[in-house]
Amino acid sequence: MKLILLPGLDGTGLLFEPLINIMPDNVDFDIITLSIDKEGSIQNQVNDIVSTYKGEGP
C-alpha cells in the first residue's frame, strides 16, 4: 500500500516534513506537489494523480 500525501495551502508538501521524519521506513509514500499552472484546473490535477496511481492497489 502506498500513502499519497496531498499538500494543502502551501502546495509544496513542506508541511509534511515533521510527519516524514517520524514515519517508519517501511511506509511507502509519495508527496504530490500541486501545479501553479494557470491553464491547469484542480480537476485536471486530480485526473493526473488518479491516472498515475490507478491500479496500484489500496
pLDDT of 23-44, one tens digit each? Answer: 999 999 998 887 766 666 778 8
Question: For residues 56 and 51, which has the higher predicted lDDT (pLDDT)?
Answer: 51
Cell of 16: 509534511
**Residue 8 DSSP label:** -
Give the other-Cβ count within 10 Å of 58's Cβ. 4
Cell of 36: 501553479
Which strand (E) or helix (H) includes residue 2?
strand 2-5
Which strand (E) or helix (H) includes residue 43?
helix 42-53
Residues 6+ apart with CB under 8 A from 57: 1, 2
Model-wide pTM > 0.85: no
